[in-house]
Structure 1
C-alpha cells in the first residue's frame, strides 16, 4: 500500500486531470476545419461552418450538465462505499463516455458521450478533494488538495498540445485520436487506486477504528501508532464521531438546517464564484476570444496554448503559499485582480472594437465583435492576466475550501453540493457565452468584471480562514461561533486555545460515552 501523502495525492488527482483533458480537447478542436466540416450545420452542406453557436454551446455544456448530476450522486456513493471506491467508479464511467465520444457519428452522439464523461468528472471532482483532505496533515492540506487544480491545468495543457498536433491530420482522425487518448489517465487512475489507502476518517465513521489508526500512523508518522500527532488526531476524531451523526442516515437537507446553512452557503459560493469569475470563458472559448482579436489558424492555437502554460505555472504559487498566507488573502487578492483585468478588457473592446465584418471573422459569427492593432494585443495580454489572477487563487482554493468547513458525517455530501453548484454554473456559462459574444458583445466582459468585484466583497465579509488547522479544530471553531474577522492567521493562537478547550471537553465526554476504541491501547 502506498502511504506517502505526496504519492497518494499524485495518483488521486488524476481524477482532476480528466476535467482538464475535456476542457482543452474541446477548446483546441472546435477551431479546426476538420471538426467544423464533420459537424457542419451551416446553410451550405459543403461549407465548414461547424455547429450553430447555440448548438456548440449545448455540446460544450453537456459535460458540466452531466457533472452536476454526478456531483450530487457522489455524496451518496462516497458515504456508502468509501471515498476511494467512489473515485474508482468515476474512472470506469469516464472510459464509457470517452468511447462514445471517440466513435461519435453525429452531434447527438457527441452530446451523450460528453454527458456521460461529465457524470464521471462530477464524481471525481467532488470526492478527490474530500479523500485527500481527510488523509493530509493540516499544515500540508492546502498544498495536497490544491494539487487537484494543478492536475486540471496539466490535463488542459497536455491535451491541448495533443489536439494541436492532431489538427494536422486529415479527416475525422484529427479529433477522434485526442478523444481516444483521453482514456489513458482514467485507466491509470483505476488501477492505481487499488494501491492507495481508504480515508481514515471515513473508516472511523464506519467504526473501523483499527484500520483508521493504522492508516493515520502510516501516512503521518511512518507507522508509529504512539506518535503524539497521530494520538491527538485520533482523540479529536473520536470526539467528533461520538457526537457526530452516522453519514449513512444523514441527508442533503441537513446541510440547510439552521446550524449548517451558513457553512453550506460558503461551500456553495466558493464554487459558484469560481465559475462567475469568467475563467471558463477563457478556457473553453479562448479561440473565439483570440479570433475576435484578429488571430486565426495556427497563430490562434499557439497563442491559446500560452494561456494554458500560464495557467499551469501560476497555479504553483498557490500550492507553495496557500498554507502559509492563508485562504482568505489569496481569494481576496485574486478577486481584486480579476476585477481589474475584466474591466480593462471591456474598456478596450468598447473603445476600440467594432462589429465583425460581413461573413464573420476567423470562424466567428458575423454578429460578433472584432478589435485590431495595439488594442487587440492588449486584449490578448489581459486575457492572459485573467488566467494568471485566477490560477493562484480561486482555482485551487475552490477545491480546498468546501471539505474543510463541514463535520465528518456531512463532508461527502457538502463537497457534492458545492461541486454540483460549480457544474450547474459551468453548464450555464458554457451554453450561453457563445450567444453572448453575438448578442451583447463587449458587455460580456463587463458582466464578469462586476461579478468579480461582488465576489471579492463576499469573501472579505463572510469567508473564514481555515489554514493550518485540523479538520476537527475547524469544526470546533464553528461550534464556538468565532467571527469571520477573527479567524485570520494572525489570531490563530487565541482560536487554537478556544478550540483546545472545546476539544478537551469533547474528549472527556467521549471517554465516558464512547465504545469505539481505547486510545491508550492504540
Structure 2
C-alpha cells in the first residue's frame, strides 16, 4: 500500500487529473474578473441610466474608468508580500474578498466618490490575484501540463469580457439604476466561484517547503507525480530536486527578493526580461485596438456606430478562439518562436494598416475598407496567438521561486502603469498623428522583437527547477548532487530567514 501522510486538506482530491481541472477553473474565474470589468465599464459608459444618475462629464467619466488602473497599480505592489507571506491560496482568497467588497461598493453607490472607491477596490483585487494564481498553477502542475493551463489563464480574460458585453447589452432595456447596478453586482460572481474552488486545490509545494511544511509538500507532490505514494521514486526525485534548488537559491541570494534581482548576472537577466515584457504588453498596439477601436475604424473610413459595435463583438470572439489555440500550442511550438512570430506579425500588420489608412481612409472603396478591417483582425490574431497566453505563462515560468512573486509584481506594475499612461496619451497621439501613429508604433515594436530574440530563454516542457540551468545560476551537478532530501536542514534555513525578517 502506498504510504500517505494525510496532511493535505480533506477536501483536496487525491487525483492529479481532477486537480488539473480545478486549477483550470481557478484560472478561468480569476482571469474572467479582469475581462468582465474592462468590458463592463465600456458598456456602462454607453448607458444613459448610468451617465444621467452620476451627471457624468468628460472628467468624471475618465475618473471612473481610470480608477480601475489606479487600483491595479496598488494591487500589483501587493503581489509579492501577499503571495510570499500568506501563501498562494490565501493571497487568492484575499484578492477575491477585495473584489467582492469593490462590487458591493459600486453596486450600492449613491455618489461618484463611492463608485470610484469601489472601482479602486476591484482593481486592487483583480491585480492582486494575477500574481499568486499563475504562481500556484506553475508550482503545482508538471511541465507537460503547465504551459497550456497557464496559457489559458489570461486567455479567459475574453470569457469575462464576452459575458459582460452580453449583460450590458440586455441591461440597456432596464429602467432606473438597476441598469448599471445589476452588471456591477454580477461582477462579484467570479470571485465567489474562486472562493468556492479554493478548498479543493492544494497549496504550492514550493511554498510549503520554503515555509517548513515539507511533509505536506511531499504529499502534494505524491498526488501530482507519484500516484499518491510519498515513497514513489518519482515523488522522491521531484521533492529532492525542489529542496536542492530552493536551498541553492537561498545560498546564492540570502537577501530579500528585491535586492536579489540585481545581485547576480542571472537575476539581472531575469529582471531585464520582466521589465521589457511588462512594458511590451501594453505598447505593442493592442491597447489601441482594445480601447480605441472606434477611432481606428473611423480613421479607416468606417463611421457607422452599429457597424463598429458589430466589428468589436466579432473581433473579441476571433481573439478568444485564436488565444485558445495559442495556449494549446505553447508546448508544441515553444515560447520564443510563438512570441517572435506574434510580434513580427504585429509589426507587418501595423505598417500595412498605417499605409491603407493613409491611402483609403477617406475613400468610398468598400473593398479597401474591408481590407483594412481584415488587417485589424490579423493584428489582433497575432497578439492573441502569442502574447495573450504568454502574459500569465512566461513570467511564472522563467522566474526562480524567490523572485517569482516579486517579478510578477514588477511585471504587473509596469503593465498597469503603461496602461494608465496609454489611456490618457494614446487618444491624443492618434488624433495628432493620424495614420503616422501606426507606423511609429510598428517601428518601436522592432525594439521589442530584438529584446525577445536576444534575451528570452526557451522554457517549453522544462521543470521549473531546471529553468535555472538556462540562466547559468545552477549546474547539473548541483541539481542532482544530493543523495537524500531529508539531509537538507529546512528548519535551519527557515529559522535563519525568520531572524533576518
TM range (shorter): 0.7 to 0.9
* Equivalent-residue separation in structure 2 for 1:341 and 1:407 (angstroms): 35
1:92 paired with 2:120, answer no
* Equivalent-residue separation in structure 2 for 1:513 and 1:182 (angstroms): 46
Offset, 1:511: 6.9
1:353 paired with 2:361, answer yes
Residue of structure 2 in register with 1:10 after alignment: 24
1:236 to 230, 235, 241: 241
* Equivalent-residue separation in structure 2 for 1:371 and 1:253 (angstroms): 59
Offset, 1:327: 0.3
* Equivalent-residue separation in structure 2 for 1:39 and 1:321 (angstroms): 46
Residue of structure 2 in register with 1:418 after alignment: 411
1:266 to 249, 268, 273: 273
* TM-score between both structures, scaled by the size of structure 1: 0.84
Contact kept? 2:274, 2:411, Cα under 8 Å: yes
1:474 to 461, 467, 472: 467
Structure 1 unmatched runs, 5+: 42-50, 355-369, 482-498, 518-522
Q: What are the within-5 Å matches in structure 2 for residues 34-433 of structure 1?
A: 34-38=49-53, 51-52=57-58, 56-245=61-250, 250-259=256-265, 260-290=267-297, 293-353=301-361, 373-433=366-426
Offset, 1:245: 2.6
Task: Give per-residue Cα distances to partners, 1:49-70, cap 9 Å, x unaligned.
Answer: xx42x65444333212211221
Summarize the Cα distance change of 1:255–1:117 in structure 2 as closer, same or farther, 3 Å threshold. Answer: same
Offset, 1:437: 3.5
Residue of structure 2 in register with 1:455 after alignment: 448
Contact kept? 1:60, 1:431, Cα under 8 Å: no
Q: What is the RMSD of the two structures over their aligned residues, measured on CA atoms?
A: 2.7
Task: Give per-residue Cα distances to partners, 1:324-369, cap 9 Å, x unaligned.
Answer: 2110000000001111122222222222336xxxxxxxxxxxxxxx
Offset, 1:126: 1.6
Residue of structure 1 in register with 2:37 after alignment: 22
Contact kept? 2:23, 2:201, Cα under 8 Å: no
Equivalent residue of 2:131, what SS?
Answer: helix
* Equivalent-residue separation in structure 1 for 2:240 and 2:114 (angstroms): 52
Task: Give per-residue Cα distances to partners, 1:107-157, cap 9 Å, x unaligned.
Answer: 444332222111111111122111100001011111111111122121111
Offset, 1:34: 4.3
Offset, 1:244: 2.9
1:500 paired with 2:493, answer no
* Equivalent-residue separation in structure 1 for 2:423 and 2:391 (angstroms): 19
Contact kept? 1:23, 1:283, Cα under 8 Å: no
Summarize the Cα distance change of 1:371–1:165 in structure 2 as closer, same or farther, 3 Å threshold. Answer: farther
More moved, 113-122 vs 252-261:
252-261
Summarize the Cα distance change of 1:157–1:501 in structure 2 as closer, same or farther, 3 Å threshold. Answer: same
Structure 2 unmatched runs, 5+: 1-11, 493-501
Summarize the Cα distance change of 1:515–1:301 in structure 2 as closer, same or farther, 3 Å threshold. Answer: closer
Residue of structure 2 in register with 1:514 after alignment: 489
Summarize the Cα distance change of 1:196–1:245 in structure 2 as closer, same or farther, 3 Å threshold. Answer: same
* Equivalent-residue separation in structure 1 for 2:360 and 2:99 (angstroms): 44
Task: Give per-residue Cα distances to partners, 1:71-107, cap 9 Å, x unaligned.
Answer: 1212101111100100110011111112222334454
* Equivalent-residue separation in structure 1 for 2:130 and 2:324 (angstroms): 19
* Equivalent-residue separation in structure 1 for 2:450 and 2:21 (angstroms): 37
Summarize the Cα distance change of 1:29–1:307 in structure 2 as closer, same or farther, 3 Å threshold. Answer: farther
Summarize the Cα distance change of 1:136–1:37 in structure 2 as closer, same or farther, 3 Å threshold. Answer: same
Would you identify which runs of 4 or more consecutive aligned residues in structure 1 move more than 6 Å?
246-249
More moved, 295-304 vs 417-426:
295-304
Equivalent residue of 1:390, what SS?
Answer: helix
* Equivalent-residue separation in structure 1 for 2:53 and 2:296 (angstroms): 23
* Equivalent-residue separation in structure 2 for 1:255 and 1:95 (angstroms): 34
Offset, 1:271: 2.6
Summarize the Cα distance change of 1:183–1:510 in structure 2 as closer, same or farther, 3 Å threshold. Answer: closer
* Equivalent-residue separation in structure 1 for 2:389 and 2:221 (angstroms): 25
